Structure 1
Amino acid sequence: MREILYRLKDRYHLGTPTFQRTDLCFVTVRRDEIRAILTELRDMEGFTHLTFLTAVDWIEEQLFQLTYMVNNREANLSLGLRVLLDREDATGDTIHDLWPTAATYQRELREMFGIKFPGSPRVDEEFILEGWTDLPPYRRDFDTLAYSQQTYNDRPGRVTHDPKTHMQKTLYPSYPKGAK
């Protein structure tokens, strides 16, 4: 893996690699270089499988992080490429032409985070949230409690228990209170 990163570093701006294991590494790359890097990894380095494409909302930094996980099955290597996007105008590059399965991931990220992928097939069609008109629900500024209270009625007689206390009483009813 280090040799591959060394070859890429000659031509691209790579952040400091984070090795989770010898066969799994994450590295941050520039948005304007992601397509070229992914193409080179696929065509020259044997990373023929897009394992997933996902996002993280770093609301405090006003960023979204896209993570493209690619895999070289023959060498048993996985590489996660992280791209940071401005949260206000979150637009990623479509890679459906490199891996057709990316179109599904991109549709999901558009609907659940509001990240745009211009040119990706059917990206603006409803996918999971038919009829959804609210803020994308995976964004951290989406208030799930407020949405739930506005959308659903409370059921009469419903009681909410503190999970720790409830499980202790349920699993260990004879355990003396306050004992350790």
Structure 2
Amino acid sequence: MMRDLHDHLKTRYRLGDLAERRGNLAFVDVERADLRALLVELRDVHGFTHLSLLTAVDWIEEGRFQLTYLMNNRAANRTLGLRVFLDRADPVGDTIHDLWPTAATYQRELREMFGIAFPGSPRVDEEFILEGWTDMPPYRRDFDTLAYSQQTFSDREGRETHDPRSHMAKKLYPEGQR
């Protein structure tokens, strides 16, 4: 069923291959220029009326961000994820708050946490979660959490730090058995 929809949409939009995760969940890559028209068609023609999630992944090695728009068709119990890739050096996405008002909240979060711009989205440049934050966006993979913690918080007596891999190995296999 998702394959039929994909084949139909591929005649008008630049789509990548369909990646089916299970019978009612699939993902497809879409060109940024086609995103808005595709979202409108999915909503108005194919019943994908619910924007479940808008999130990002930082593919630092590839120099890009992946935006994933998770669309749900409740009547058909189908979920489709549209993946759009943005240049990491100048990440600019297209606002869809006029299609789904809740998208404005997702876009504000992605602006603050990843530094992805969504021009025209309401209040996108206002502080949202990180009041007074002046460092680089903390969800970027090149944000150094250890350095930030060491610069921001003082050491506390009695605090121990464990390497997670060896610490869990000791917890799981106290006798050194594997």
Decide whether the 8 Å contact of 2:3 with 2:18 is kept in 1.
Answer: no
Alpha carbons of structure 1 residues 2 and 152: separation in structure 2 relative to 1, 3 Å: same
Tell me the distance in 1 between the aligned counterparts of 2:169 and 2:84: 43
Tell me the distance in 2 between the aligned counterparts of 1:7 and 1:16: 13
Alpha carbons of structure 1 residues 169 and 37: separation in structure 2 relative to 1, 3 Å: closer
Q: In the alignment, what sits opposite 1:136?
A: 137
Q: In the alignment, what sits opposite 1:70?
A: 71
Query: How large is the RMSD of aligned CA atoms in angstroms?
Result: 1.6
Say which is worse superposed, 154-163 or 82-91, in terms of deviation: 154-163
Q: In the alignment, what sits opposite 1:96?
A: 97
Structure 2 segments unaligned to the other structure (5+ residues): none
- % identical equivalent positions: 71
TM-score, normalised with respect to structure 1:
0.93
Alpha carbons of structure 1 residues 82 and 166: separation in structure 2 relative to 1, 3 Å: closer
- Per the TM alignment, residue 178 of structure 1 is displaced from its structure 2 partner at its CA by 3.3
- Per the TM alignment, residue 158 of structure 1 is displaced from its structure 2 partner at its CA by 1.5
- Per the TM alignment, residue 109 of structure 1 is displaced from its structure 2 partner at its CA by 0.1
- Per the TM alignment, residue 169 of structure 1 is displaced from its structure 2 partner at its CA by 5.9
Tell me the distance in 1 between the aligned counterparts of 2:170 and 2:140: 36
Residues 117-136 of structure 1: matches in 2 within 5 Å? 117-136=118-137
- Per the TM alignment, residue 4 of structure 1 is displaced from its structure 2 partner at its CA by 1.2
Tell me the distance in 2 between the aligned counterparts of 1:161 and 1:58: 28
Structure 1 segments unaligned to the other structure (5+ residues): none
Q: In the alignment, what sits opposite 2:176?
A: 178
TM-score, normalised with respect to structure 2:
0.94
Is 1:82 aligned to residue 83 of structure 2?
Answer: yes
Tell me the distance in 2 between the aligned counterparts of 1:85 and 1:26: 17
CA deviation string 1:95-133 (max 9, x = no partner): 000000000000000000000000000000000000000
Q: In the alignment, what sits opposite 1:2?
A: 3
Alpha carbons of structure 1 residues 179 and 58: separation in structure 2 relative to 1, 3 Å: closer
Matched residue SS, 2:129: coil
Tell me the distance in 2 between the aligned counterparts of 1:38 and 1:21: 22
Tell me the distance in 2 between the aligned counterparts of 1:63 and 1:166: 34
- Per the TM alignment, residue 159 of structure 1 is displaced from its structure 2 partner at its CA by 1.8
Q: Which amino acid aligns with 2:73?
A: N
Q: Which amino acid aligns with 1:59?
A: I
- Per the TM alignment, residue 7 of structure 1 is displaced from its structure 2 partner at its CA by 1.3
- Per the TM alignment, residue 164 of structure 1 is displaced from its structure 2 partner at its CA by 5.5
CA deviation string 1:5-44 (max 9, x = no partner): 1111110010011000111000000001100000000000
Alpha carbons of structure 1 residues 65 and 169: separation in structure 2 relative to 1, 3 Å: closer
Whose radius of gyration is greater, 1 or 2? 1
